[in-house]
Amino acid sequence: MRAQEFVKDYAGLSLKISRNADGVAIRAYGADGARELGMAEFFFDEQGRLDPQTVWVDERRQGQGIAAAMYDYLKSQGYTIVRSWDQTDAGRGFWDKHRGPEATVWEASPYTARMSGFDANNPVHVQFANFWKMTLRKKAQVPLEEAWGIFQRQGEVCALTGKPFSFDRAGNWDMISADQINPSAGYTADNIQFVRWGVNSIKMNMPQSSFISLCEHVLQNVPNLRKIALASARIPPSNVASVLPSATGPVRIPTSQIYDQQIKSIMSKGFNPNSAIHQYWIQSVHGMLARQKQGIGFDIEQAWYIFHDIQQERCAYTGLPFGANIGKGFLQASSDWTSPSPDQIIPGGGYRLGNTVWVLWIVNKGKSNLSLQEYVNLAKEVYSHAAQRNLSKTNTWSQAPKDPQFYSSADDYKQREPAKYKKYSNTP
């Protein structure tokens, strides 16, 4: 018997369904129908129910509810799907996560019934339901109905950019993510908002007002960044020689001796080993050398020239000064939002002249492997949307009176917290 085939758009997917006397096969494609994202095959049992045989989802799309969407569609068409008696561990985990360990029949989702106005053909609605059951319900301090109401009052778009959520892009970049407006207040009704995952990743644990201000600084500083990158590519070579002539030919100077000479050289050019910011900076250089086993494309003198002379000891992406943090230790750069951190302008382009700048640690952590253009575009979306909504900027990055993480400079920190400055910087 020839299989019956048809295509159906469902939950942001293009589903291709085939049926013959033995069973049903369903394949999921992106909205453009070009790339297969997942598939499932079922045999009819003696009662005409569907017994799952094979389920597959592209590893880049796993965890996005694609398999559940295929099951849900077949359920919506009147099929009864039963739990297979010989499930694999993966199959058992799939059923347990989506329908519970006691379920033997794939029934309608217990969550969507509680979402007023839920549309199974709306991919964003399906995505929200999947996000709730797989992630948010474990940590939210609000019931599903209230979280769904907040999402709908946002217009079902990203709260920080006004841009729609997407199901089409590989990975989680434009998918729904829950954000705490105040990072320390929990996922409560007055502190939760829904944003695109990419935006949440660069916001990290910044208060919203500080994040918006940071985005503004990024946009204002773009012209200056181009000048920094151009000037960095034209730095003259180091004055410290790595080889010396001799009667028998060139003699290579030991690396430790070169390092000592370069430290002495930059100390004559403004490097202060008692400065907390400068301590952070030299540690970041050590980190680069440790990570880049093939070496970096410049030496310590040239790195200091970039940081001190070209960047003026300010973040290349925001123009903000490097500062200090309290409470977790001056020399723990991983916990200090405003410590200097080296970034590759073009990710994967290596630490070389013209591609290496120093930025705020919080900026580097959020930018991750984004290209600079992608990072700037996100900052533009956030700030433009905030300006349209006239969000308050009274608690900006440079002010932040209620947030002890922010200081305008190491001197500011020293003046306001002299005991902690002395403890963490070893300054007399």
Instruction: Kindly state whether residue 261 falls inside one of the protein's structural domains.
Output: yes
Helix (H) or strand (E) holding 183: none
pLDDT for the residue 428: 36
Q: In this structure, are 217 and 353 located in the same domain?
A: yes
For Cα atoms 94, 96, 97, give the angle at the middle one, nearest 5 degrees.
Answer: 65
Q: Tokens 């769904």 appear where?
A: 148
What's the rounded Cα separation, in Å, for the pair 60 and 188? 31
Q: In this structure, are 213 and 189 located in the same domain?
A: no
Domain of residue 133 covers 112-203
Q: In this structure, are 317 and 367 located in the same domain?
A: yes
Q: In this structure, are 117 and 86 located in the same domain?
A: no
Closest CA to 168 of 375, 36, 13: 13
Task: Please report, for residues 14, 40, 74, 107, 130, the alpha-carbon distance to residue 81 in angstroms, rounded to integers and kept in the order given.
Answer: 21, 12, 8, 8, 19
Q: Tokens 């575009």 appear where?
A: 377
What's the rounded Cα separation, in Å, for the pair 173 and 168? 10
- In contact, 336 and 280? CB cutoff 8 Å: yes
Q: In this structure, are 87 and 235 located in the same domain?
A: no
pLDDT for the residue 409: 46
Classify the phi-psi angles of 236: left when phi > 0, otherwise alpha if psi is within -120 to 50, otherwise beta. beta
Q: In this structure, are 330 and 247 located in the same domain?
A: yes
- Of 145, 180, 203, the domain-final residue: 203
Q: In this structure, are 261 and 332 located in the same domain?
A: yes
Q: What's the CATH number where 90 sits?
A: 3.40.630.30
Instruction: Kindly state whether residue 23 falls inside one of the protein's structural domains.
Output: yes
Query: How much of the chain is in helix, strand and coil states, percent to nearest 5?
Result: 40, 15, 45
Q: In this structure, are 416 and 349 located in the same domain?
A: yes
Question: What is the 3 state secondary structure string of the chain?
Answer: CCCEEEEEEECCEEEEEEECCCEEEEEEECCCCCCEEEEEEEEECCCCCEEEEEEEECHHHCCCCHHHHHHHHHHHCCCCEECCCCCCHHHHHHHHHHHCCCCCECCCCCCHHHCCCCCCCCHHHHHHHHHHHHCHHHCCCCCHHHHHHHHHHCCCECCCCCCECCCCCCCCCCCEEEEECCCCCCCCCCCEEEEEHHHHHHHCCCCHHHHHHHHHHHHHHHHHHHHHHHHHCCCCCCCCCCEECCCCCCEECCHHHHHHHHHHHHHCCCCCCCCHHHHHHHHHHHHHHHHCCCCCCCCHHHHHHHHHHHCCCECCCCCCECCCCCCCCCCCHHHCCCCEEEEECCCCCCCCCCCEEEEEHHHHHHHCCCCHHHHHHHHHHHHHHHHHHCCCCCCCCCCCCCCCCCCCCHHHHHHHCHHHHHHHHCCC
The set of residues, in sequence order, having a beta carbon less than 8 Å from that of 384 and lying 6+ positions away, is none
Instruction: Kindly state whether residue 106 falls inside one of the protein's structural domains.
Output: no
pLDDT for the residue 1: 44
- Of 170, 203, 236, the domain-final residue: 203
Q: In this structure, are 328 and 375 located in the same domain?
A: yes
How many H-runs (helices) and E-runs (strands) does the chain carry?
Answer: 13, 11
What's the rounded Cα separation, in Å, for the pair 316 and 226? 9
Q: Residue 4 in 3-state DSSP?
A: strand
pLDDT for the residue 117: 84
- Of 175, 203, 231, the domain-final residue: 203
pLDDT for the residue 205: 81
Q: Tokens 């002890």 appear where?
A: 404
Q: Tokens 């916990």 appear where?
A: 335
Maximum distance among all Cα pairs of the chain, rounded to whole angstroms: 95
Q: In this structure, are 181 and 228 located in the same domain?
A: no
Adjacent-strand bridge partners of 343: 357
What's the rounded Cα separation, in Å, for the pair 131 and 145? 14
Closest CA to 175 of 237, 132, 127: 127
Q: Residue 38 in 3-state DSSP?
A: strand
Q: In this structure, are 92 and 116 located in the same domain?
A: no
How does pLDDT run along the chain (428 residues), one tens digit per residue?
A: 456 888 888 877 889 999 998 999 999 998 777 789 999 999 999 889 999 999 999 988 887 788 988 998 898 888 899 998 888 888 888 888 878 888 888 876 667 777 888 887 787 888 888 788 777 777 778 888 888 999 999 999 999 999 998 765 445 678 888 998 888 788 888 899 999 988 998 888 888 888 888 888 888 888 888 788 788 777 766 654 443 344 444 434 345 566 677 888 888 889 988 888 888 888 888 888 776 655 567 778 888 989 999 999 999 998 888 874 433 333 333 346 788 999 988 888 888 888 889 998 888 888 888 888 888 989 999 988 888 876 644 333 333 323 333 334 445 545 655 664 454 343 33
pLDDT for the residue 333: 35
pLDDT for the residue 329: 35
Instruction: Kindly state whether residue 104 falls inside one of the protein's structural domains.
Output: no
Q: In this structure, are 223 and 173 located in the same domain?
A: no
Number of domains making up the chain? 3
